[in-house]
Amino acid sequence: MRHVRSIQELGSERISRLLDLTDHMVEISARAVPKVTALRGKTIVSLFLEDSTRTRLSFETAAKRLSADTMTFSVSSSSVNKGESLRDTIETITDMGVDAFVVRHKSAGVPWQMTQWTDAVVINAGDGAHQHPTQALLDLYTVRQSLQGRSMEGLHVVVVGDIRHSRVARSNVEAFSMQGALVTLVAPSTLLPSSCDHWPVRVVHDLDAVIGSADVLYMLRLQTERMAQGLLPAISEYSSLFGLTSSRVDRLKSSAVVMHPGPMNRGVEMLVDPREVPGSLIHQQVTNGVSVRMAVLFDALTQGEGVEGDSAMKGAM
Amino acid sequence: MSTLAIRGGTVVTASEEIRADVLISDGLIQAIGADLRGDSELDASGCHVLPGFVDLHTHLREPGREEAETIETGSRAGALGGYTALVAMPNTDPAQDSVPVVEFVRAQGRRAGLLEVVPSGCITVERRGQLLAPMAQLAAAGVTLFTDDGNGVQDPALMRRALEYARDLGVTLAQHCEVSALTTGAVMHECACSTDLGLPGWPSLAEELMVHRDIELVRLTGATMHFLHLSTRGSVELVRRAKADGLPITAEVTPHHLALTHELLTGFDPLYKVNPPLRTMDDIEALREGVRDGTIDAVATDHAPHIGRDKELPLDQAPPGMLGLETALGVLGSAVALDARQVAKLLSVAPARIAGMSNQGHWAAVGKPAHLCVANLDESWVAPSGSRASKSTNNPFVGRTLRGRVYHTIFKGKPTVVNGMATA
C-alpha cells in the first residue's frame, strides 16, 4: 500500500525504511541549496480542511525540496459542508491530474473514505482524534537521533495530557511500542479514552509519580474548550497537576528529553519556557518534520514504479 | 369477481401448518384446501404462505425528503420485502404532529395502493421533547402509536405526563431509548474499537438508562409502552424482567442489530452508521436469544433511506440509518434460526397487534383479509446490488448471502409482488 494513513498500516518494516530514508533527507536539508529533483513532475495537493499552519507548511516545504509541484486547498470544513461534497472535491482535483493528496480533516477516517474516490496516493496529515502518522514518524526520528545509535528497547516514554482527543497520542503509542519502548500515559480519567485496556501502555494519574523515570516526556496540547465540555474543573487545576513546571523539569533525569507536537499552550501544559528546558527537542521536532515528510512523500510517490526508494534517491541526487 | 389461487404452498394458520392452496376473491380468503383453482394462480411450491408482514418502523421521508424516498417508492420496497403494512415514523418535515400531516401520509399511502401506510404520531410538538403533541386529536384521526423516534423523550416528567395522557386515550407510546447527554457527538458503539478509531462512543448505558426509566414509568402509570430498536444485552434483560413482572411492555429489534457488529465501522464507511449503533457479538447473542424466547416481540426494519451524497460525508457528519425493507426476511433468516410460525409472529402478528391494526397480522383463515406473504424460508440468495424500489441505495446487505426469500406479496387480495417482481 502506498498510502500513508496510520502507523498500524505502515508497519514496522516500512517505518524503518522511512526513518533510514529520512537520514538522506536530513543531509539534503543541510545543504546550501536544499533541493533535489527527485519528485520533479509530481503534483501534490495539500487539502487542509481543518486549520493547521505548521503541518501544512512542513509538508509544502518538504514537497518543494523534492521539486514537486504543490497546490493548496485550504478552507474551513464548514464551508465545504455547505456546498460541494467531499467526494466531489476529491474527484474534481483528481481529474486535474494529481499524484498525492496530503489531507488534514477534523473528522476521523476521511483518508480512508478518500481512497475510494481517487487513484492518487493519500497521506494523512491528521484525521480527527484518530491518527497523525507523520507526527509519530518525526517523533520517532527525533528520539532516534537523540539516542545516537542506542536502541529504543526499554525506553520509558511518558505521554501527558489529553489522550482522549489526541491523534498524536494514538499514533505515538503504536509507533513507540512497535520500537520496544515502554509507554506510560498520564492524564485524569476524563481525558483518557473510555477504554484503553487493550493498548500496550501503563496508565497513571499522577505525573509526579513517573516523571523521575521518564526517558522521553511527551507533553500534549490541552485545548481550553475541554473545560466547557465538563472534562476538567479548571485549567489552573490541570496545570498544577499535569503541567510542566520548573520544579518538574528539575526532577527529570539528566538524560531525559522533552517533546511537544505543537502548537504549545503556554501557561496551560507548558509553564516553563521551553528554551530553558535542557532536554527540549521541540525545535528538532519541527526541523526533522520537514525531512521526515520528504521521506514520506518520496517513498509514497516512487513506490509502485519498481524503484527501491533508497537507490532512486541516490540517483536523484 | 375474479379469483386468485395460491397453489402448492404450506399455509401457516393459527393452529397448524398445512399443505394447501388458498383461494382469494373480494379481498378476502375464501377457502383453504386442496386443488383450489382461480382465474389467476401463483405458484407457492417450496414456500410458506404467511400473513403479510407489518413493519413497525419505517422512515418513508415524505413529506420533506422526497429525494431519499417517497411513500410510493417506500411502499414498493416494502411490498418486495413481503410487507402489507408499514408504520410511518413521524420524523418527516413537517413532523407528524398534527392531523393534516398524518392524513396526508395516509392519503399518499392509499394513492400508492401497494400496502397500508399507517402514520405514527409525535409524542411532542416537532419531536422537540418540550410540549405534548395533540395526541387526542391524532388518536381521533386514527393514530394508535406515538413516538418521537430519532429522539428519545429526555425529560422524565414530560414522559410521565405523556404516558398518563396516552393511557387515557388507549394508545401506545414507542420510545427511542437514548439519553442524549451521554451520546453527544457519538458515532459508534463505545468500546476498544471506538477508542482506536478516535470516534466518540455511544455507550450501551445511554440506551439502558432510558429503558430502565421508562419501565419504571410504565409501572407507575400503567400505560402501554413499546421499545424501539433495542441494541444491547442489558436492554434485553431489563425488558425480560419487566415482562416477568407483568408490565404492558413490548420491544422490537432491527434485522441489522441481529446481524452486524460494530467492527464494520473500522473502514469508516458511513453505510454502517446507524442509531442506535451496531454493537458487539455479545449483544447480538442476547438479542437473538430475546427473539427466540419472546422477550423481543417484533422485528422492525428502521428502514432509513439516505441519498448517496449524505452517506459520502465524513463518518461523524453522515446521518445514521440503513435500508431494511427489501432484505428484512433474508437478514433475519440468516441471523436467527426460526420456524415459520416464529417468523410470522415477529414480522406480522405481533407488530400488527402492537400498532393496533385490526385488519393486519391475521393467521390465514377463511373470511380474513387477504394480506399475505409467500416466501421460501430456506432459500439462500445473494442480495443484488442497488435497490430494486427504494430511491436510496444505503443497504449494506448488498452482495451478502441471505436466507429466506419473498416470492409473492398479496395486499387486499391483489398481488403487489409476483415472483419477486413488483407488479406496479
- Please report, in tens digits, the pLDDT of each residue of chain A (317 residues total): 799 999 999 999 999 999 999 999 999 999 999 999 999 999 999 999 888 889 999 999 999 999 999 999 877 654 555 556 788 889 999 999 999 999 999 999 999 999 999 999 999 999 999 999 999 999 999 999 999 999 999 999 999 999 999 999 999 999 999 999 999 999 999 999 988 999 999 999 999 999 999 999 999 999 877 777 889 999 999 999 999 999 999 999 999 999 999 999 999 999 999 999 999 999 999 999 999 999 999 999 997 454 444 455 555 55
- With respect to residue B405, please indicate whether it lies within any of the assigned structural domains: no
* Residue in B48, B116, B93, B109 with CA at minimum distance from that of residue B355: B116
Pair A160, A295 in one domain? no
Q: Which residues contact B253 (CB under 8 A, 6 or more apart)?
A: B229, B230, B231, B287, B290, B291, B296, B298, B299, B300
Phi, then psi, of A20 in degrees rounded to 5: -65, -40
Cβ separation B269–A129 shorter than 8 A:
no
- Could you tell me which residue, B383 or A79, shows the higher pLDDT? B383
Pair A112, A212 in one domain? no
Option in B201, B203, B267 nearest A112 (CB): B267
**Across B14-24, average pLDDT:** 97
Cβ separation B313–A109 shorter than 8 A:
no
What is the amino acid identity at position B107? A
Pair A55, A72 in one domain? yes
The answer to whether A53 contacts chain B (CB < 8 Å) is no
Residues of chain A positioned with their CB less than 8 A from the CB of B269: 113
**Domains of chain A: total:** 2
Q: Which residues contact B396 (CB under 8 A, 6 or more apart)?
A: B256, B260, B264, B271, B272, B322
Whether B64 has a pLDDT exceeding 70, the answer reads: yes
**Across B332-345, average pLDDT:** 98
Query: What is the per-residue pLDDT for B412?
Result: 98
- With respect to residue B80, please indicate whether it lies within any of the assigned structural domains: yes
Cα–Cα dist B358/B366, whole Å: 16
As for the ipTM of the complex, it is: 0.92
The answer to whether A126 contacts chain B (CB < 8 Å) is no
Query: What is the per-residue pLDDT for B274?
Result: 98
The answer to whether B309 contacts chain A (CB < 8 Å) is yes
A25 by Cβ neighbours in 10 Å (0-12 / 13-18 / 19+) ranks as buried
Pair A137, A275 in one domain? yes
Option in A85, A128, A199 nearest B198 (CB): A128
Pair A148, A262 in one domain? yes
- With respect to residue A40, please indicate whether it lies within any of the assigned structural domains: yes
Query: What is the per-residue pLDDT for A304?
Result: 47
Pair A148, A270 in one domain? yes
Decide if A285 contacts A139 (C-beta within 8 A).
yes
* Residue in B144, B160, B166, B165 with CA at minimum distance from that of residue B351: B144
Please write the tens of the pLDDT for every residue from B85-97.
999 999 999 999 9
- With respect to residue A146, please indicate whether it lies within any of the assigned structural domains: yes
Question: Where are any strands of DSSP class E within B137-198?
Answer: 145-147, 172-175, 188-189
Question: Where are any strands of DSSP class E within B26-129?
Answer: 28-33, 40-43, 48-51, 53-58, 83-88, 116-119
pTM: 0.94
Query: What is the per-residue pLDDT for A53?
Result: 85
- With respect to residue B139, please indicate whether it lies within any of the assigned structural domains: yes
* Residue in B204, B327, B188 with CA at minimum distance from that of residue B256: B327
Decide if A56 contacts A28 (C-beta within 8 A).
no
- With respect to residue A1, please indicate whether it lies within any of the assigned structural domains: no
SS3 content of chain A, % helix, strand, coil (to 5): 45, 15, 40
Cell of B386: 442497488
Decide if B111 contacts B80 (C-beta within 8 A).
no
* Residue in B362, B278, B365 with CA at minimum distance from that of residue B322: B278
Question: Which residue of A107, A116, A170, A231 to mutate against B (max B Cβ within 10 Å)?
Answer: A107
Residue-by-residue DSSP string for B213-245: HHHHHHHHH---EEE-S---HHHHHHHHHHHHT
- For residue B246, the 8-state DSSP code is T
- With respect to residue A2, please indicate whether it lies within any of the assigned structural domains: no
Cell of A29: 536539508
Q: Which residues pair with A216 in a beta bridge?
A: A157, A257
- With respect to residue B272, please indicate whether it lies within any of the assigned structural domains: yes
> Which of the residues B21, B97, B214, B302 is marked catalytic?
B302
Residues of A belonging to the active site: 54-55, 82, 104, 132
Pair A276, A292 in one domain? no
Cβ separation A113–B312 shorter than 8 A:
yes
Pair A106, A49 in one domain? yes
- With respect to residue B193, please indicate whether it lies within any of the assigned structural domains: yes
Cα–Cα dist A250/A231, whole Å: 29
CATH number, domain with residue A25: 3.40.50.1370
Phi, then psi, of A57 in degrees rounded to 5: -65, -40
Domain span at residue B118 reads 52-361+383-394
Phi, then psi, of B388 in degrees rounded to 5: -85, -25
Q: Which residues pair with B418 in a beta bridge?
A: B421
The answer to whether B199 contacts chain A (CB < 8 Å) is yes
For A161-244, where are the alpha helices, taking DSSP H only?
167-178, 207-210, 225-228, 235-242
What is the amino acid identity at position B11? V
**Across B327-336, average pLDDT:** 98
Cα–Cα dist A182/A187, whole Å: 17
Query: What is the per-residue pLDDT for A309?
Result: 44
The answer to whether B35 contacts chain A (CB < 8 Å) is no
CATH number, domain with residue B307: 3.20.20.140
Decide if A293 contacts A124 (C-beta within 8 A).
no
- With respect to residue A291, please indicate whether it lies within any of the assigned structural domains: yes
Q: Is B208 helix (H, G, I), strand (E, B) or coil?
A: helix
Cβ separation B198–A130 shorter than 8 A:
yes
Decide if B212 contacts B235 (C-beta within 8 A).
no
The answer to whether B186 contacts chain A (CB < 8 Å) is no
The answer to whether A197 contacts chain B (CB < 8 Å) is yes
- With respect to residue B4, please indicate whether it lies within any of the assigned structural domains: no
Cis geometry, peptide bond prior to residue B351 (ω within 30 degrees of 0): no
Nearest CA in chain B to A171: B196
Cα–Cα dist B10/B137, whole Å: 43
Query: What is the per-residue pLDDT for A310?
Result: 47
Question: Which residue of A47, A84, A112 to mutate against B (max B Cβ within 10 Å)?
Answer: A112
Cα–Cα dist B5/B228, whole Å: 37
Pair A116, A161 in one domain? no
Domain span at residue A77 reads 7-132+285-316
Nearest CA in chain A to B271: A113
Pair A17, A107 in one domain? yes
Residues of chain B positioned with their CB less than 8 A from the CB of A194: 190, 194-195, 201, 203
Pair A176, A294 in one domain? no
Q: Which residues contact B200 (CB under 8 A, 6 or more apart)?
A: B184, B185, B186, B187, B194, B316
Pair A144, A210 in one domain? yes
Give B188→chain A minimum CA distance, Å.
12
Cα–Cα dist B408/B247, whole Å: 37
Cα–Cα dist B51/B347, whole Å: 9
- With respect to residue B5, please indicate whether it lies within any of the assigned structural domains: no
Option in A109, A112, A195 nearest B192 (CB): A195
Respond yes or no: is residue B93 known to be catalytic.
no
Query: What is the per-residue pLDDT for B309?
Result: 86
Cα–Cα dist B147/B149, whole Å: 5
Option in B195, B312, B314 nearest A196 (CB): B195
For chain A positions 238-297, those within 8 Å of chain B (CB to CB) are none
**Domains of chain B: total:** 1
Whether B218 has a pLDDT exceeding 60, the answer reads: yes
Cα–Cα dist B278/B258, whole Å: 9
